[in-house]
Amino acid sequence: MSTAKYLIPLTGAIAVALFFRLQIANGFSLLFGDSYDGFIEVSILEHWNNVLHGFSSWHRTLSLYPEENGLSFNDGYFLFGLIYSVFRLFHVDPFLGGELANIAVRAIGFFAFYAACRRILDMRLEWALAGAAVFTLCNGSYVSMDHAQFLTVCFVPLNAILLFRTGRALMENDRPALLKFGASFMLFYAACLMTGYDMAWFTFFFSIAYVLVWLALAGNARRKQVLVSLRRQAVPVIALLVLAALVNLPFLTLYWPMAMASGMRTYVEATKFSPIPLDITNVGEGNYLWSGLNLAAYAYFEGRYPEEKGTMANGIPPLTLFLFLAATVAMWCRKGPVDDKLLVKRVLSTTVLLTWALTIKYDDDFTLYDPIYNWLPGAKGVTVLVHYQLLLTIPVVALGMDFLSSLKWKWAPALLALLSFAEQFNNYHILQLRRPEELARLARAPQAPAECRTFYIARTEKEPWAPVDALYRHSVDAMLLAEWRRLPTINGIDSYVPPGYDLFRPEEPAYADKVAAYARAHGVHGLCGLDMRDHRWLPPLAEE
């Protein structure tokens, strides 16, 4: 125990440091993300800092003013925002605060994965640590860091622990434990929904499938035990369902109107980023061990590598996948009675294979996802289906390490675990946010005059070099400056924008007229323009 006291945090620190190795090496001058989506994320984190300081309402951002529910246009980043606000108390700048929050979340993922392996699979300490290290360095998570909300996969093992303890308490008719762990899960899952929708929904999807597979494999005796336990614990179960409804009211009141207005995702949009069979092991162009084989496979079967290089590179590295498949075969070949531990492993592996098969696009016109999209609540809100493979990494790695722990060979299990760790390394160029340059550029914007109560970006530093720049540059600058300076802006850009919003392309002659018309239509007063090129404020627009 004394050794574990130091070994666990030391292993976690090394694994997290390796994931953020480039930032540490460059002194946090070059960070995950870019100056588009990275700015949007930091602006939302700064929003929560303003909420905690009593400056803003939780649902109303200072961008896209005067929209009442501006937070509904994107993921909420709630848990990230709470962590970020702690770092901001120590006066770190927003960009560094955002990266430190990412580090903290990755560390939570390491310890949660380790705890899940120990408490759910009853793995030995060294193998639980090995699995946590592989999960922390995960190739798919690394190449997805241009959208940090997918780090919410780090919260999934904690949700799994709470659900597992809730289920065990139900089966054992332990009412205090049922209420404690059930309520903890309801509260934490609601927080996850307000943080990143896709991963929270993936958790729901996997959990529903797990329960159905468990019922199919558990046998009559265990199924009857569940029914008896539900009857005996009907009151606390109903109380937990009521709690679930109450704690999710903020999420529903915020996002339900937006979902109804937007229609969410069409089936074509929802399956646009469905993985094809090759994507199961797509580790990207920069994976140190497998990039050559990966590119050769796409060249042979598809003729070219996917256009969305980073988005689709969420596959499981080949050795890690092989260990999972070997574990699945071994557990199903095992003879004799099926105890609770073996049942959990069989259900986990079956759920992985079943849900994975449902999300794959087998050709341009054929996928098994249609019933999920049409019938499972919330499926129409999922943005990028291939990121489900990030969640599957958790049971895949855990079962693979559990399999290695059962082998009696002398050195082979340790060597295979080391290779599984090594195959997660990737040199994909995901660091694009230049912190010193962006801080200096934003600092050149002067403080707003007293008569300016809202603002818009009148001109950017340079003419846009690409269509996306014309949409994003002034929008994201305004979003971050608004939250940082605590001055509302009518500009902004998110996954969605308000109906009729068209304040893009400041270089176009019609832009100024659009701004004036928007201000009149929405009753915006004291609206000043900020010229980012000349670093000066324009006087407030004349009001009729």
Task: Dump pLDDT digits (tens) for 146-180.
Answer: 889 999 999 999 999 999 999 999 999 999 999 99
Distance CA(311)–CA(146), nearest Å, equals 9
- As separate numbers, helices (DSSP H) first and strands (DSSP E) second, the chain gives 24, 5
Q: Do 292 and 346 fall into the same domain?
A: yes
For 487-516, give one letter per residue: b (16+ CB within 10 A) or e.
bbbbbbbbeebbeebebbbbeeeebeebbb
Q: Do 114 and 202 fall into the same domain?
A: yes
Q: Do 461 and 406 fall into the same domain?
A: no
Q: Do 285 and 180 fall into the same domain?
A: yes
Distance CA(270)–CA(369), nearest Å, equals 10
**Percentage with pLDDT > 90 across the chain:** 83
Instruction: Tell me whether residue 38 is in a domain.
Output: no
Q: Do 260 and 168 fall into the same domain?
A: yes
Mean pLDDT of all residues in 266-293 = 92
CA atoms within 13 A on the CB side of 440: 5
Look at residue 183 and tell me whether its pLDDT is greater than 90.
Answer: yes
| pLDDT, position 35 | 87
**Percentage with pLDDT > 70 across the chain:** 99
Mean pLDDT of all residues in 474-495 = 95
Mean pLDDT of all residues in 175-194 = 98
- Per residue in 195-214, pLDDT (tens digit) is 999 999 999 999 999 999 99
Look at residue 534 and tell me whether its pLDDT is greater than 60.
Answer: yes
Mean pLDDT of all residues in 132-152 = 94
Q: Do 107 and 152 fall into the same domain?
A: yes
- Per residue in 413-423, pLDDT (tens digit) is 999 999 999 99
Mean pLDDT of all residues in 109-138 = 97
For 528, the domain range is: 449-537
Q: Do 126 and 264 fall into the same domain?
A: yes
What is the pLDDT confidence band of residue 291, given thresholds at 50, 70 and 90?
A: very high
Instruction: Tell me whether residue 162 is in a domain.
Output: yes
Q: Do 89 and 174 fall into the same domain?
A: yes
Q: Do 347 and 224 fall into the same domain?
A: yes
Specify the number of domains making up the chain. 2
Q: Do 25 and 102 fall into the same domain?
A: yes
Mean pLDDT of all residues in 330-359 = 95
What's the mean pLDDT when you consider all of the chain? 94
What is the pLDDT confidence band of residue 306, given thresholds at 50, 70 and 90?
A: confident
Instruction: Tell me whether residue 250 is in a domain.
Output: yes
Instruction: Tell me whether residue 444 is in a domain.
Output: no
Look at residue 46 and tell me whether its pLDDT is greater than 60.
Answer: yes
Q: Do 352 and 485 fall into the same domain?
A: no
3-state SS, residue 72: helix
CA torsion sign for 193, 198, 203, 207 is positive
3-state SS, residue 33: strand
For 36-50, give one letter per residue: b (16+ CB within 10 A) or e.
bbbbbbbbbbbbbbb
Q: Do 286 and 247 fall into the same domain?
A: yes
Look at residue 544 and tell me whether its pLDDT is greater than 70.
Answer: no
